[in-house]
Amino acid sequence: MAERKTREEKMSAVQQKLENGVREIFSSEKYKEYIAAMSKFPRYSINNCILIASQYPEASLVCGYRKWQKEFNRVVNKGEKGIMILAPSKGKVEVEEELYDENHRAVLDENGKPKTEIVTKEYQTFIPVYVFDVSQTQGDPLPSLATELSEQVESFEDIKRILEEISPVPVYYEDIQGEAKGYFSFVEQKIVIKETLPQLQTIKTMIHEIAHATLEHGSKEDKFDRFSREVQAESVAYWVAQMIGLDTSEYSFGYISGWSKDKEVSELKEHLELIKETADKISLAIEEKLKEMKPEQEASKVSEQEINYNSSHRARK
């Protein structure tokens, strides 16, 4: 019971650090730079947002080909397929209209027929145009609230193997192009991690994607929007990392605030119990695996010592 209480106290301390850390991001200079850059991205109508999501579900920052070049010094990758949206377009047309006097009566000509004139009228229609997501571009980095984690991790291979074992779906490592560090596909039931990430970033990203998989984000039962899903997954990643002695605050606090819809981080507050429950579940699974691994490691050390002793003994003979 005492051990469980200690664990609950640790969970509460992590919760407080998470809430305070994310709150502090909003008053930082980094946040001001981030907002200045984000304000350059166009705001799309709900219909265009639906069009974008239906064609490119993972889209996050979207704008036109030339705007990427002019505003952000980035170019669209060769061979990328544009995302079609509808843009308003004005046109003009000449029409023949009857003339009316000040009393709204038709003006007649000498033959008693209504007089007409040619009038130019403007109209608005919608035409298809194409935009591209940031993942389809390359060039100058965009301002980010999250700093990539470059630290080494003690027992990296062991923790990595444990995460692979407790993951609800298989984990693969690939050369992911663009900004993404990893992803979870509910349809394909797999997690993919960028293979060139530093050790701490790899572990953090694995936990993030395992959280998505554990919460079944992307399933038919999933009622959360993308903002809530990302806040949930990264909050779980930070929480679990803290519970196993790793600090991902340099990345997690900025990532969470970047995905939040408001400075109150309503997604974090609204789903706190779900986040806490998921973090507890994953961290407990990791801890159990670590306990199982200790006797194996001790046995391996003993065996290694025996081999070294026997080799040394034979050499003396």
- Segments of the chain scoring below 50 in pLDDT: 1-2, 299, 302-303, 305, 307, 309, 313
Q: What is the pLDDT of residues 27-68, one digit of tens each?
A: 888 888 888 888 888 888 888 988 998 998 888 889 999 999
Closest to 121 in 3D by CA, of 79, 157, 150, 92:
92
Please tell me the predicted confidence (pLDDT) of residue 311: 52
AA identity, residue 176 = I
Q: In what order do the strands lie in the sheet with 182-185?
A: 171-174, 190-194, 182-185
Show the 3-state SS of 213-271: HHCCCCCCCCCCCHHHHHHHHHHHHHHHHHHCCCCCHHHHHHHHHHHCCCCCCHHHHHC
pLDDT of residue 74: 95
Closest among 217, 151, 137, 140 to 185, alpha carbons compared: 217
For residue 88 the two structure tokens come to: 């308003």
Cα 288 to Cα 240, 248, 277, 294: the distances in Å are 13, 22, 17, 10
pLDDT in tens, 238-279: 999 999 999 999 999 999 998 988 888 888 989 999 999 999
